[in-house]
Amino acid sequence: MDKDLTKTSSYDYYLPPEQIAQNPIEPRDHSRLLVMHRDTMTLEHKHFYNIINYLNSGDLLVLNDTRVLPARVFATKINSSADGAKVEVFFLAPTENHKVWKVLLKPGKKCKPLTRLMLDKQNIITVGGYLEDGQREIIFEDAQDPISLIHKFGHTPLPHYIKSTTAPDERYQTVYNNRLKENSVAAPTAGLHFTQDLLNQIQEKSIKITYVTLQVGLGTFRPVKAENIHEHIMHSEICQISKETAELINEQKTAGRPVIAVGTTVVRTLESFASVYGRIKEGILDTRLFISPGFSFQIVDKLITNFHLPESTLLMLVSAFAGYEFTMKSYETAVKEKYRFFSFGDSCFIC
């Protein structure tokens, strides 16, 4: 029976809990690689360092150079009947006034506006108003530097399904992250498999590399709750493309050469710009683009990506790119072949 691809349940699949990777493979490029050939609907089982054999001179590899902010901070209430109670503050993004940040609070209902939270005896922050989607405001004092305090007290916000890991925080960063673009609450995990040596080998093969930036935001943690996928509301994320990158991509498309996206964040960035402008151009966009089967890709020709959660917008994106039946068949095979799933897991190359 044909599946109704508008139903969220059509994107479910069985995954044994032990195949959810709790630690990354070392070295980075020794993770497994499932090569998905769309033209023949066949699969190959490789390791990530083999990716170079599937890239050709003249290809263009596009990566997301964002860096993960240590966004999870633990504070203590100090001016209520619950003095001493612990509060988790998850910093999402600054507002236009950089002294005010959008956050998630846990427990949020017990943090009324003007509640004061102590980071240490010298640093107090204040809970502000209510925002959409359960978000709140945190207000810093004029003399405080929010980024410095987040770095001092923050922890890397690993996904909820990583319950036990020995990996250092830096292992949840790509080797090519830009420290000036530390603005994400989750890593662009498709890029975690690259080593600097592998990137050097790729460039030595006359394969071009360029970068975009998408600030991975709250939507990463939000499941699809609507029964019909088209009723799901994507959270906005900021994405940016430089003049140099725009020119490279447009030249690549004009010449008919492949554009290879490293990760779904790159796909959303490139296709968001193409949807708005009809081409790639320099600039910044606030995107809510939701890619699902039936979407017409204008820029991305091939995709490197990890294995994604059941019923997630990312699995729907992959199903749009690779075809629903081939995607679900590939995931079924990956489960059977004991691939490791999600952020610290293995990778796919959809070509």
Q: Which of 74, 86, 28, 62 is nearest to 245 (CA)?
A: 62
Q: Give the residues of the chain that fall short of pLDDT 50.
A: 1
Closest C-alpha among 306, 136, 281, 94 to residue 220 = 306
Edge-to-edge strand ranges of the sheet holding 237-241: 42-47, 32-37, 347-350, 302-306, 259-262, 60-64, 208-214, 237-241, 283-287
Question: What pLDDT is stored for residue 221 in this prediction?
Answer: 64
CA proximity to 280, closest of 315, 312, 239, 318: 239
Nearest to 220, CA basis, from 278, 160, 172: 160
Tokens of 24: 């990354």
Distances (CA, A) of 330 to 7, 44, 185: 20, 10, 29
Strand partners, 139: 100, 126
pLDDT at 67: 98
Longest dimension (CA), the chain: 67
Instruction: Give me the pLDDT at residue 81, please.
Output: 56
Does residue 114 come out as left (phi exceeding 0), alpha (psi in the -120 to 50 range) or beta?
left
pLDDT at position 45 is 98
Quote the tokens at residue 319: 């199903």
Q: Is 206 exposed, middle or buried (0-12, 13-18, 19+ CB in 10 A)?
A: exposed
pLDDT score of 80: 60
Residue 87 structure tokens: 């509060």
**pLDDT digits 0-9 by tens, 35-94:** 999 999 999 999 999 999 999 999 999 999 999 999 999 999 987 655 688 999 999 999
Q: What's the pLDDT at 132?
A: 86
CB-based contact 277:285 (threshold 8 Å) = no
Query: What whole-number percentage of the chain has pLDDT above 90?
Result: 90
DSSP letters of 234-289?
Answer: PPPEEEEE-HHHHHHHHHHHHHT--EEEESHHHHHHHHHHHHHHSS--SEEEEE--
DSSP state of 89: E
